Amino acid sequence: MVVEPRNTFSAPSDNRNMDTRERELVLAVLVVTAGCSSTPLHDRAIELNASAVELIHEGELDRARDALDVALEYNPRFSEAQANMGLIALRTGRLDEGEERLRRAVTLNPDFAEAWTNLASISLHRGDLDQAESRARRAVLVDPDFPEARTVLIRVLVAREDFEEARDQARRLLVVRPDEAASHALIALVDLAAGDSRQAGQAVERALERDEGCPLAREVRGRLALGRGDARAAVPDLRAALESRPGDPDLRYFLALALLRSDEVDRAATELDRVLESHSGHARALSARALIEAIRGHRERALELIDRACGSSNPAPPEVQAIRRVLEEAGAVSGEP
């Protein structure tokens, strides 16, 4: 979940709009200026950190890093600058360094909700649900009014299939942000994950009434369309949602699946390959890629991929088992386990 900058120094409330911030990538990255540091800050350090935030917005990551390096020379214990260095590391694929920077930030300032949220998202990205939940709950405890923290906690609970508490947390978020589309979209996401398509559809419509471009609402609407067999209708919604979360492997998988069911096999293969570049053990992507290889007549490659899919998770997801059965019936793979 990528969350864009929040200015905690000059205008804390201006940048807490989830409809413009809500960029779930699995990583929740928040750029911050000074405001919650427990250490007296040099004016020049604050200026350099604020400049770095703007440079990060503009994609000038090298220049932003240089500014933060100097800010940290003025104040090595500047927690927000440490967190922003972590963001740059994450943006450039250095997950371990990003986590280390964020851990320094919360060591310097244990009540740094944004940094705890980011750490929770990293844990969720890695599949460590226990750690992700602990970090997300710490973020919510620090700042119950910070929507991104509760959003990550909801995603962790959905991953745990704890739909009852996920709904409870989503309702609390709705109390905090009743007029924001993403609040309603999160309720839709929980309902969708719990298998209640009717409730999910109603919640997503409420979200889209408030913001027709809400990325999470577009995702849920696309997945609902895919679930009822309307793959072509799903593609534009899923593609729009992916623009805000390009690193989310599950969302890219759903787009690939919609493309495949729309007979756009080559485009589906391209999207699945992108998933597997960063998540080589993504079982559903592997199985869908196996199906494409079988369609193309590449029996041995299909066999290799479906075996990898079945071996990457135990038990294999239902979708993976279903595709294996299809391939077995088509004679593309052996029925032996």
Does residue 147 fall inside a structural domain?
Answer: no
Can you give the pTM of this predicted structure?
A: 0.76
Average pLDDT on 236-258 reads 93
**How does residue 305 score in pLDDT terms, banded at 50, 70 and 90?**
very high
- Which candidate, 300, 239, 301, places its Cα nearest to that of 276? 301
What CA–CA distance (Å, rounded) separates 33 from 55? 12
Nearest alpha carbon to residue 286 among 298, 299, 269, 300: 269
Measured CA to CA, the distance from residue 40 to residue 46 in angstroms comes to 10
Q: Hunting for tokens 């990898």 — which residue is that? A: 308
pLDDT value of residue 38: 54
Residue 326, pLDDT score: 78
Instruction: Please give the mean pLDDT across all residues of the chain.
Output: 85
Average pLDDT over residues 40-50: 90
The DSSP symbol for 314 reads: S
Tally of CB atoms within 10 A around 189 = 27
Look at 36 and 312; give whichever has higher pLDDT: 312
3 and 98: one domain?
yes
For residue 156, being part of any structural domain is answered with: no
Of 1-10, 66-75, 117-126, 286-295, least confident by mean pLDDT is 1-10
Q: What is the pLDDT of residue 136?
A: 97
Q: What pLDDT is attached to residue 162? A: 96
pLDDT grade, residue 333 (50/70/90)? low
For the stretch 66-82, pLDDT in tens is 999 999 999 999 999 99
Q: What percent of the chain has pLDDT over 90?
A: 64
According to the model, what pLDDT value does residue 30 have?
53
Judge contact between 23 and 49, C-beta under 8 A: no
In a domain, 10, yes or no: yes
- Structural domain contains residue 146: no
**Contacts (Cβ under 8 Å, ≥6 apart) of 138:** 116, 120
CA distance 37 to 286: 45
Structural domain contains residue 63: yes
Which tokens is 308 given?
């990898």
What are 186-227's pLDDT values in tens digits? 999 999 999 999 999 999 999 999 999 999 999 999 999 999
Residue 317 DSSP label: P
The b/e string for 196-231 (b: 16+ C-beta within 10 A; e otherwise) is bbebbbebbebbbebbeebbbbbbbbbbbbbeeeeb
Domain total in the chain: 3
> Does one domain contain both 24 and 66?
yes
Residue 120, C-beta contacts closer than 8 angstroms, at least 6 positions apart: 28, 131, 132, 133, 134, 135, 136, 138, 139, 149, 152, 153, 156
**pLDDT confidence bin for 247, thresholds 50/70/90:** confident
Q: Which domain holds residue 312?
A: 248-337
Q: Which of 53, 47, 52, 102 is nearest to 79 (CA)?
A: 102
User: Which CATH number belongs to the domain containing residue 3 in this structure?
Assistant: 1.25.40.10
Same domain, 11 and 122: yes
